[in-house]
Amino acid sequence: MNSGQRHQWRDGVVAQASLRILATSDLHMNLRGFNYITGKPQAKAGLAQLASMITQARTENGEGACILLDNGDALQGAPIADTAAQPPLSYNHPMALAFDALGYDAIGLGNHDFDYGLDFLDTVSTQYKAPTVCSNIVSKALSDVRMWTIVDQQATCSDGVVRDLKVGVISVLPEQTMIWNSKHLSGRASIGSMQDAVNLQVPKVKAAGADLVVLLAHSGIGRGNGPKDAENAALQLSNTPDIDAVIAGHTHSLFPDCASQAVPGSDPVQGTLNGTPAAMPGFGGSHLAVLDLNLGHANGAWHVLNHCVTLRSAPSTTLHDPAILQATDAAHQRTKARMEETVGVASAPLNSYFSLLHTSSDLTFIAHAKRLAMQRHIAGTAHAELPLLVSTSAHASGGKAGPDNYVAFAKGPLRRRDVSPLVPFDNAIWGRVVTARDVREWLERCAAVFATQRPDAPDQMLLDSNAPGFNFDVLHGVDFTINPTRPSRYDPDGTLVDKNASRVESLTFDGAPLEDSQQFLMASNSYRLAGGGQYPGCTTQAVSVKCEETVNDALAWLIHNPLYQADAPESRWNLSPGLDLHTVYKTSPAARIHLKQIARYNPVDLGDTADGFCALRLHL
């Protein structure tokens, strides 16, 4: 249990009371215990299971004030989200039904809540009983989104008096959302600086009568010293006067977390950012944030005296909330049927079980689709004269999403559920002209996914647990190896930590070492090239080409044209050979029948881990 002292005891305090803040974030439409990719039930059931924890947390609180908030990215990220977004929207959205069943008090917005467009978001937000809040967006298309709201509570105090307690809620999301979702937002909305919005709206909600203010920051913790438009800025935002609690999100991390590395201003044990109570409750309903604020009432005002911040996860045996199951059943049944539809043909089998070990068939398939789309777009232009490289992210690589977060399909007809996990986020295909130096730097950032390996350490983990697979953005079109025994130039967040460090070895193009004067066109996506994930040199000003096609458009074209699938050019990356050390790699239990693909690492099966992965000891 993490507790801390926020303010010294104040003269004139006549009574104490408690406020419990419950919060979810980055649910990504994980509503119930079913995996639409495998077509089977799963142990972790998202919001349907977390609902029991919410009920328990409310019951424990007794007569204390209690509010329930969500911090955005609720509406996209699972196949049921795609089903629910299909027109016509003549029924209540399953997430709106779930939020209403649980009695949420306010809903913040995240960047992915805009993925289906403003009209869709407006329709869904008007279905919520709770107010929708976003303090740094302006759009006439959003009829029911507020800059702030006040949640009215009553607190039973230590002197027996019941007093009014007004909790203000503001919400911000990265201004880069304007770029990532430009196809939906351009000309219809504007998203400003998170810090400017907080500076503006906190005084307004206080003037409207709020006793306390909670900030829903759909933003990672960050380092507190980033630029004003930093994507991950919760630490910076927590320094704003009159913020009493912060809910962070966006990066799917856990906070507080004793295993995480503290940065100046953050306390991952006590659960504070610059002394302010704060939490980040993971991804997909993995955790519920519980912030208990002990309040003092003096001179007609409330103050936070101390706090306790915890994260709670539902045991796999926790019963699924029947109200959530009933509310989402219609969309659930439609999604199961939709995922069985045939959408194309595969000319060869494919899987992602080893995509963080070497060149993998899944990322090669995505890269080929993006390559063909870019070639179609630049045909006849000067950009077509440059050698083309393609970046792909290892989305389906386990990680925090669990041992079912992989893709595998056989040669032949493809169902929608076969291809759905390849690209969960439908970003546009963009291109950037890069030099050989840029290529090296990109790959060094990519290599931050690996933990630094020690030859004398037995059974060390190969991957850095703080580095999500979707930030492993490997380049196709060049050959190279990665040496994880060397220190990383970048940390998992993309911050340069050692400019002299280098893990990338044997980098070649077309069989020859790269020369600094060489130029390439690199096809990536709008999220990455606009700065998402902090890859070096990525700004909108550096973008050279913007395709009309999205990554999912490109994949759809390829699976409908299987003759082109065999034309994928080969490039190779591997972990550096001859390191003479043992390391442990976690993958899907289904990977056991495919171990020949990594025979060069002499894999030894160590059995299943407590979280359901297959653990393999590798010899590098």
Residue 368, token pair as written in the block: 């080929």
pLDDT classification of 9: cutoffs 50, 70, 90: very low
pLDDT classification of 4: cutoffs 50, 70, 90: low
Q: Is the pLDDT of residue 552 over 50?
A: yes
- How long a stretch of residues is the chain? 620
ω into 484 cis (within 30 of 0): no
Residue 203, token pair as written in the block: 């005084």
- Count the alpha carbons within 13 Å of 57 in the hemisphere toward its beta carbon: 27
pLDDT given for residue 276 in this prediction: 97
- Contacting residues for 383 by C-beta, under 8 A, at least 6 apart: 431, 433, 521, 544, 545
pLDDT given for residue 228 in this prediction: 77
pLDDT given for residue 12 in this prediction: 65
pLDDT given for residue 7 in this prediction: 46
What is the topology classification, in CATH, of domain 2-335?
A: Purple Acid Phosphatase; chain A, domain 2 (3.60.21)
What is the topology classification, in CATH, of domain 341-454+466-570?
A: 5'-nucleotidase;  domain 2 (3.90.780)
pLDDT, tens digit, 9 for 90 and up, residues 74-123 = 999 999 999 999 888 767 999 999 999 999 999 999 999 999 999 999 99
537: left (phi over 0), alpha (psi -120 to 50) or beta: left
Euclidean distance between CA atoms 428 and 138, whole angstroms? 23
pLDDT, tens digit, 9 for 90 and up, residues 572-585 = 999 999 999 999 99
- Contacting residues for 214 by C-beta, under 8 A, at least 6 apart: 21, 67, 69, 167, 168, 169, 170, 243, 244, 245, 246, 247
Around Cβ 79, how many Cβ atoms within 10 Å? 21
Q: Is the pLDDT of residue 1 over 70?
A: no
Residues 106 and 149: beta-carbon distance below 8 Å = yes
pLDDT, tens digit, 9 for 90 and up, residues 164-198 = 999 999 999 999 999 888 889 999 999 999 999 99
Amino acid 339 reads: M
pLDDT given for residue 73 in this prediction: 98
Q: Is the pLDDT of residue 290 over 90?
A: yes
3-state secondary structure 365-409: HHHHHHHHHHHHHHCCCHHHHCCEEEEEECCCCCHHHCCCCCCEE
pLDDT, tens digit, 9 for 90 and up, residues 404-422 = 899 999 999 999 999 888 8
> What integer is the mean pLDDT of 232-260?
94
Residue 166, token pair as written in the block: 């007004």
Q: Find the DSSP H helices in 13-115.
A: 47-60, 79-84, 94-102
Taking alpha carbons only, the member of 325, 218, 202 closest to residue 280 is 218
pLDDT, tens digit, 9 for 90 and up, residues 32-66 = 988 898 888 887 779 999 999 999 999 998 878 99
Q: Is the pLDDT of residue 562 over 70?
A: yes
DSSP strand pairing (132-133 vs 106-108): parallel
pLDDT classification of 8: cutoffs 50, 70, 90: very low
pLDDT given for residue 227 in this prediction: 79
Tell the burial category of 380 from Cβ atoms under 10 Å away from its Cβ (0-12, 13-18, 19+).
exposed
DSSP strand pairing (272-273 vs 276-281): antiparallel
Euclidean distance between CA atoms 113 and 80, whole angstroms? 14
Euclidean distance between CA atoms 617 and 148, whole angstroms? 51
pLDDT given for residue 423 in this prediction: 86
Tell the burial category of 215 from Cβ atoms under 10 Å away from its Cβ (0-12, 13-18, 19+).
buried
Q: Is the pLDDT of residue 468 over 80?
A: yes
Residues 276 and 302: beta-carbon distance below 8 Å = no
Q: Is the pLDDT of residue 571 over 90?
A: no
Query: Could you give the 3-state DSSP secondary structure of residue 327?
Result: helix
Domain ranges of the chain: 2-335, 341-454+466-570
pLDDT classification of 617: cutoffs 50, 70, 90: very high
Give the distance from CA 515 to its chain's centroid: 36
Euclidean distance between CA atoms 572 and 128, whole angstroms? 49
Q: Is the pLDDT of residue 502 over 80?
A: yes
The string over 169-199, giving b where at least 16 C-beta atoms fall within 10 Å of a residue's C-beta and e elsewhere, is bbbbbbbbbbbbbeebbeeebebbbbbebbe
pLDDT given for residue 11 in this prediction: 55
Q: Is the pLDDT of residue 213 over 50?
A: yes
pLDDT given for residue 285 in this prediction: 94
Q: Phi/psi at 438 (nearest 5 deg)?
A: -60, -40
Strand partners of residue 614 = 587, 608
How confident is the prediction for the chain on average, in pLDDT? 93
Residues 375 and 549: beta-carbon distance below 8 Å = no
Farthest-apart Cα atoms in the chain, separation: 80
Q: E-strand spans in 74-173?
A: 106-108, 132-133, 137-138, 145-146, 148-156, 162-172
